[in-house]
Amino acid sequence: MRTISENRCFEGVQGVYAHDSHATNCEMTFGLFLPREAEDGPVPVLWYLSGLTCTHENAMIKAGAQAFAAEHGIALVFPDTSPRGEGVADHEDYDLGQGAGFYVNATQAPWAPHFRMWDYVAEELPNAIDAAFPIDPERQAITGHSMGGHGALTLAMGQPGRFRSVSAFAPIANPVASDWGRKQFGAYLGSDESLWTPHDATHLMRDQGFDGEVLIDQGASDQFLDLLRPEALAQAMAARRQAGTFRMQKGYDHSYFFVSTFIPDHIEFHAEALWA
């Protein structure tokens, strides 16, 4: 574990760290906010997964989450969205390759050697953080924006019992039926669409749901609504009678102005589950 920076932040510490990843076969960077309470012992943790083109920095700098996490004594983890560096495959399109890992384990060339973001976020990074920082592994929650909202929902439903709560901002809700999904799944996972559905929040919601509370916020003026397909997830939640809330926010778009407006609600939502 290599420390890149540590800054005092709302009486806690906002750090940025790097480590060698076996899952992605390259160095990975992540942000970690530890509240003041971490000085006295392990604290609950909220994972924040970012969207297309983002690094660990986007949410760490733009979401304004640290102030509200500090109020509730919760740590925040900001992973990167993909492997990076020399020798890591990339693509000229912004929505494929570096910055667009989609939180899956790639099986196809040229992506398979490095693009194993499911293993990285689900197993390797949590283990590395548990070993190095005062985090309570029994009290975890997860959220994310756009591609990260897709990742948060699929990781939460794909690992029953791990997360006490899950939320998402404008998630890619039905990727197997969207160009934000079909393109990436085809490249990373191949043409067998049966391998795609375990990474589709709408399918997972229909088939199994989440064993806790769910909160979804979607901007009604989001410029990417046709790609996100929020109606599919909302219908799946209703059909399953999933405990939770799906909110369409009038006038809001896909930007971090939207995320920062509703991040207090999401952190309070997770705090209730994490401190229960």
Which position among 146, 165, 167, 178 bears the catalytic label? 146
SS3 letters for the chain? CEEEEEEEECCEEEEEEEEEECCCCEEEEEEEEECHHHHCCCEEEEEEECCCCCCCHHHHHHCCHHHHHHHHCCEEEEECCCCCCCCCCCCCCCCCECCECCCCECCCCCCCCCCEHHHHHHHHHHHHHHHHCCEEEEEEEEEEECHHHHHHHHHHHHCCCCCCEEEEECCCCCHHHCHHHHHHHHHHHCCCHHHCHHHCHHHHHHHCCCCCEEEEEEECCCCCHHHHCHHHHHHHHHHHCCCEEEEEECCCCCCHHHHHHHHHHHHHHHHHHHCC
- Is 178 an active-site residue? no
Buried b (16+ CB within 10 A) or exposed e, 33-46: bbbebbeeebbbbb
Q: Is 31:56 a contact under the CB 8 Å cutoff?
A: yes
Tokens 């401190």 sit on residue: 275
- Is 146 an active-site residue? yes
Beta bridge partners of 43: 135
Which position among 150, 199, 254, 266 bears the catalytic label? 254
- Is 222 an active-site residue? yes
pLDDT confidence of residue 70: 98
pLDDT confidence of residue 165: 98
pLDDT confidence of residue 118: 98
Which position among 178, 222, 266, 270 bears the catalytic label? 222
Go through the domains of the chain in sequence order and give each one's CATH number.
Answer: 2-264 (3.40.50.1820)
pLDDT tens digits for the chain (276 residues)? 999 999 999 999 999 999 999 999 999 999 999 999 999 999 999 999 999 999 999 999 999 999 999 999 999 999 999 999 999 999 999 999 999 999 999 999 999 999 999 999 999 999 999 999 999 999 999 999 999 999 999 999 999 999 999 999 999 999 999 999 999 999 999 999 999 999 999 999 999 999 999 999 999 999 999 999 999 999 999 999 999 999 999 999 999 999 999 999 999 999 999 999
